[in-house]
Structures are given as C-alpha cells and as structure tokens.
Amino acid sequence: MNEKKPLAETLSSDATTGGTGAIQVTPQIGLLGAVAIGIGGMVGGGIFAVLGTAVAFAHGGTPVSFLFSGIVALLTAYSYAKLSVTYPSQGGTVIYINQAFGVDLLTGTVNFMLWLSYLVTLALYASAFGSYGATFFTDSLSPWLKHIIISIGIILPTLINLFNADIVSKAETYIVGVKIALLAVVVVAGARYVDVQRVSPANWSDPLSLIAAGMVIFVAYEGFELISNTAQEVKDPERTLPRAFFGSVIFVVILYILVALVTVGTVSPDKVAEAKDYVLAEAAKPALGHTGFMLVAVAALLATFSAINATIYGNARLGFSLAKDGELPEFLERKAWARPVYGVLLTAGLSLLLANLVDLTAIAIMGSAGFLIIFAVVNAANVKLAAETGGNRFISSLGFLACVGALAALIYHTAEDNAHALWVVLGMTVVSFLFELVYPRFSGRKLRV
C-alpha cells in the first residue's frame, strides 16, 4: 500500500517547507515551556472528573492506583521521547504509528480510535463540568439541570472555536497555574486532617481492583503526549524533549498521589458515594470549609471548560488532517473563516450525545481503554523503530506489555462490575475497525501520497 505523506505537512498550509518536505519552524520552546505543556495537558479536566470513580473502585488504595497508572504513563513517555526526537512533527502520535507500520487496516483503525478517544475525553470533561456546575444550585431543581450545564459546557466553547479560539488559549497558562495552585492548597491544608486508618492496606480493594482503578483513571495522564506535537518548536530537542516528558509525568504522578491521599483520608466512604462526581471539592471542606468547596468547584469549572475548548480545537484539526490524507470524509477538510468549521461542529455534536447519554464512569473507561490501546501501539512502534530512534527495546516492550496488561485488567474488572461500560468500549473499538474497513472501499477516496 502507498505510504501517505507525513501528517505534519497537512496541518498548516501556510508553513514553510524545506527540501525534505518537513515543516521548518523556528525553535522557541525551552524546557520549562515544554514541561508546562505536558503538565497542562495532564492536569486538565481529568483529575476533577475521575477522582471519585477511582476512590469508588480502589477505596483506601486509590493512591496506589494512581501510582500504577503513573508507571504505565512513564514507560510510554519513554517511547514518546525517543520518537519525538527522531520524527519531530505536529502530527505526533499519528506520524509515529504510520512511520512504524505504514498505512493499513491496523494503523487506520488506531488513527480513527485516536480521534474517537478525544471525543470521549471531551465528553468526560463536559460531564465533570456539569457535575461541578450543578453544585451551585439546590437539589430541588430539575433533574435535567446537569444535562443543561453539560450542554452549555460544550456549546459555548464550540462558539468560541468558531469565532475566536484565541480567547481561552491566551488565558490557558493562567488557568493551568490556578489549577495547580488550588490543588496544592487542598493538599497542604488537608494534610493534617488525613485519617491514616482510611488509607491503610486494611481498607484497600483487592489487587485487581487497584490495577483496574488505576486504568480507569489513566485518562487523567494521557495529556503528556501533547509535548510531541510541539517537537519542532522545542530548543535543543535531544535534551529538552526527554526531560520534558519525564519531568512532567513524574510531577503529575506525585501531585495525583498526594491529592488521592488527602481525598481518601479526609472524605468518608459514605460521602464519597454521595459526591462521587465532585469529590475533590468535598476534600477541601475539612480544612477550608464551604469556602474551600466553592473554590475547588470554581477551579473545576475553569479547568474543564478550558480542557473542552482545547480538545474541540485539537480534535477538529486532527479530523481535518486525517481527512486531508483520505482517512476521514472529505467534508471535514473544508474550511470556513480559515477554520475547520465542519470538524468543530461534528466534534461538538458527537460529544454532546456522549456526555448526555453515557454515564461518567463508562465515559472514563472508554477514554482510558482507547488511550491504552493507542499507547500500546506507540510503544510497539518504538520497539520496531529502535534502530532509528536509538531506543531501548526492553523498556518499550515493557511499556507495551504494561499497556496490554492494564487494558486486560480494566476489561476483566469492567466485565464483572459494569458490563454496560464494557459494551460501550467494545462498540468504540468495533466502530473504529469497521469504519476503516468499509469507508476506503466505498467512499472512492484514496490515501494521499
């Protein structure tokens, strides 16, 4: 099958290209900037959305679950670091998979699943936006209130993306700072209220549940891959990119473990069950009272809103790029007002359906399963390309096995605990496979070379 041109070449029609066809970009991002991109990608809406689900699965062992998922993320970050240095491109994940395996049914399925997985994370952020937004109103209001807030949380960023996407992107650095600062306040203020008995091994779930919980919340780690999309803009990439990947993941692993310790240690199991969708705000109450609850709720709204805006922006452009290469319908590569309007509208419409029709736990499982599959393939890509990347095949093989083993644990636990969610995950996988199997054969479109 013909090799398609690098995705980076389709991402910016205004870019200047050299003789090799690669986009020439003046490096501007230093180590701190690259680390900030990774941290901002991870500490988005995920931790606010999935913390309650993790505690419900792992109970007192939630910090251990975050450690498990952090190790999987760290192993995968190694493969990303090696691949991003060797194949610097705005296309990131898609480029690495295509470089390793060419363009075939497998890579097409994974590329489409990446697009779907971002839709799922968007729905996850919107669901969390709805949960935290509903805490500002009384329980007596309509049961449709959360769905109304969820829909506003998607429609408003969609309008921003259509008319002026820079409004939120310019404030993103400040929003990331606010999120990390408030999480630090919750950790520091709540530390002295932690009931050590609640986090003792006697209150941990069984080992399989601990691993499964870690994989359900894996979606809270996936954002480190955003560093790879900026590889062409990073100064001294051979040194900066590995440090940025490892530094950002290690920082977030430590932060999440501390947040989990304070949450489990200060919020009673009954309260966790009652406030699962906004449990992080409850964790601020023992030390900071209702004011702390409101501060975290506001931070969650900011975090999830900015994450929704960024995901709509990124996924619409990913869809545009895949459409340019013939992997998605042609209408997604049409632009209006210099923006991929159709991609924005399709992304928003599908995420509205997901966020309003699927429960948060199932959405989290879908997102985590999707990224575990994608990251397993990225690790396999670095094993195959080790001669070019200079990567250690053992480490990347370990990353591959960790992703596959984690996915198996997640599927096994979900089959016993939430069969509905498992069917949703399998449905997402089957849709990705069938789309790639059927679409190229009946659309008349050819992959562009």
If one compares 262 and 161, the residue with the highest pLDDT of the two is: 262
Nearest residue to 111 via CA among 442, 440, 433: 433
Q: Provide the pLDDT for residue 257.
A: 93
Any idea what DSSP says for residue 164?
-
Any idea what DSSP says for residue 326?
T
Tell me if 216 sits within 8 A of 47, measured CB to CB. Answer: no
Tell me how many degrees the CA angle 108-109-111 measures, rounded to the nearest 5: 65
Distances (CA, A) of 328 to 97, 209, 236, 440: 17, 37, 35, 9
**What are the domain boundaries of the chain?**
28-443
Segment among 103-107, 126-130, 260-264 with least mean pLDDT: 103-107
Q: Provide the pLDDT for residue 26.
A: 63
Tell me if 66 sits within 8 A of 260, measured CB to CB. Answer: yes
If one compares 16 and 248, the residue with the highest pLDDT of the two is: 248
Tell me if 168 sits within 8 A of 157, measured CB to CB. Answer: yes
Give bridge partners of residue 17 from the DSSP assignment. Answer: 23
Nearest residue to 349 via CA among 170, 162, 221, 166: 162
If one compares 179 and 356, the residue with the highest pLDDT of the two is: 356
28-443: which CATH architecture? Answer: Up-down Bundle (1.20)
Tell me if 95 sits within 8 A of 87, measured CB to CB. Answer: yes
Q: What are phi and psi of 60, to 5 degrees?
A: -65, -15
Segment among 68-72, 173-177, 351-355 with least mean pLDDT: 173-177
Does residue 104 register a pLDDT over 80?
A: no
Tell me if 196 sits within 8 A of 265, measured CB to CB. Answer: yes
Tell me if 391 sits within 8 A of 78, measured CB to CB. Answer: yes
Does residue 448 register a pLDDT over 50?
A: no
Q: What are phi and psi of 59, to 5 degrees?
A: 55, -125
Could you tell me what percent of the chain has a pLDDT over 90? 23
Tokens standing for residue 193: 């209220």
Segment among 15-19, 186-190, 418-422 with least mean pLDDT: 15-19
Q: Provide the pLDDT for residue 64.
A: 94
State the residue for tokens 């670095």. 382
Does residue 294 register a pLDDT over 60?
A: yes
Does residue 7 register a pLDDT over 80?
A: no
Q: Is the pTM of this model over 0.95?
A: no
338 by Cβ neighbours in 10 Å (0-12 / 13-18 / 19+) ranks as exposed
Map residue 140 onto helix, strand or coil: coil
Q: Residue 382 — pLDDT band, cuts 50, 70, 90? A: very high
Instruction: Tell me the pLDDT tens digit for each residue of 231-263.
Output: 888 888 899 999 999 999 999 999 999 999 999
Distances (CA, A) of 261 to 3, 39, 68, 153, 201: 49, 20, 15, 30, 13
Does residue 75 register a pLDDT over 80?
A: yes
Q: Provide the pLDDT for residue 65.
A: 92
